[in-house]
Structure 1
Amino acid sequence: MSTAVLELTDVTFRRDGNQIIDGISLTVRAGEHWALLGPNGAGKSTLLGFCGALTHPTGGTVRVLGEQLGRVELQKLRRSIGHVNPRHPLRSPLTAHEVALTGLTGTVDTPMRWSPRPSEAAAATEALDAVGMADKAERRWSTLSQGERGRTLIARALITAPRLLLLDEPTTGLDVAAREQLLHTIDALDRTLPDLASVLVTHHLEELPTTTTHALLIADGRTVAAGPAGETITTASISATFDHPVRVGREGGRWSARSPVHQPVG
């Protein structure tokens, strides 16, 4: 059995007296690709904060890359975690290459008086090439499409050779073509980085890559179902998670969700 990269054990989280997460457990192993599914307000972002060593639970334990939160220096740990957030708050006119380099510094902008070493510049070029952005490396952030920005952010996350990749609704704001290109990029990581573990947050089944191996479904801060994707992403479990009748389909390794067709009365 492969190494556990991420372990959440009976985690809880309360804010202002409200129970946000209630006893969720999750183990992600090297090479596994998990989908974290649930409606808005289910607690997905809070869980992802635990996975990224950004926040601590109120109760339970979190171990990331073998280190327990509360007993490890967080900045060092975070350098081994890649985080892709499509709402990246960049305002400076950086190039795609410069944005990728900020993955090394863990900053949104290029730090003052910091210059990359030749090996670091080469690593940024290699990361951009891996996501199909090598020919746009010198394009300014403001001129990139949303899909190109998404792929650049994946390169930024990969530049530190992380063991864990977190994708927070990575296809937000993309049109169909850009979404498919980004999902193809994510699928390709399974071949180029076979030991990389990932957790992808979404509430749309159509946004799941074909390489998704497992899924955790949550609602109201509790686990509805967890396990291998084919056994977990089902009509019954998705309907329960979203509290609405949904018919789940799968074709060519991709999922879809539709409300059942109602026959007209009379």
Structure 2
Amino acid sequence: MAYGGMGRSKKKSPQKKTSIGLRSKITGLWRLAIGWAVRLAFGILAAYLALIVVYDFLNPPTTYTMWSESRRLGGVDQEWTDAEDIAPVMLRSVVAAEDANFCNHWGFDMGAIRQAIDSGANRGASTLSQQVVKNVFLWQGRSWARKAMEALLTPAVEAIWTKRRILEIYLNVAEFGEGVFGVNAAAFHYFRTTPDKLTPRQAALLAAILPDPKGRSAAKPSRFVSNRATAIADGAATIRADGRAACFSK
């Protein structure tokens, strides 16, 4: 019996071979690109972690905001001051104003976040730790990329730095006015004094302008700023009495 074409192998057409080869090349390129993207992401993360370790004992020389404002204004006023040379009431005032549960969280205040979501607020859930990460390592703005980086770096900062160190760095890089960065420059700019000589009222006024440093003045406070400073002074006394200042006090 003759079986005709049985046993003959079917040859793939050149067009099918080209299509399969092209798909294979595209898949290979995607895998290569993903691999390099993952390596780059880990490299960036490792660099940030290295900086966090370094800044545990060396002071950050500048920040992106200070650099950009210096370019815009032709210079900024900022001089580093160790926490030991800042009036303790200044530390308590900033915590009372910005993050009253600073000693009780690990970088994220989940209670404040839930309250902000429930009330639809755009501000109020960011902790001092998150603000330090944003000010020292990242940039201003509300982009998802920045928020994602902030969420990754904040736990590392909390794990490596002490609460006192976080607060010390915050007080030295925070913007207190146009071209005025850090509590040293702010104390002189508004009150012609030094950080160690700040009174409770002066400390509260400085803390009161932090959410809007270019739109508020500590030396000539509006009624709103004055009232807010009064509430901050009360809050600073409260967290000292109830132990919520223990993690950064000496």
Q: Same fold (TM over 0.5)?
A: no
Q: Which has the larger radius of gyration?
A: 2
Q: TM-score, normalised by structure 2?
A: 0.26
| More strand as a share of residues | 1
| More helix as a share of residues | 2
Q: TM-score, normalised by structure 1?
A: 0.25
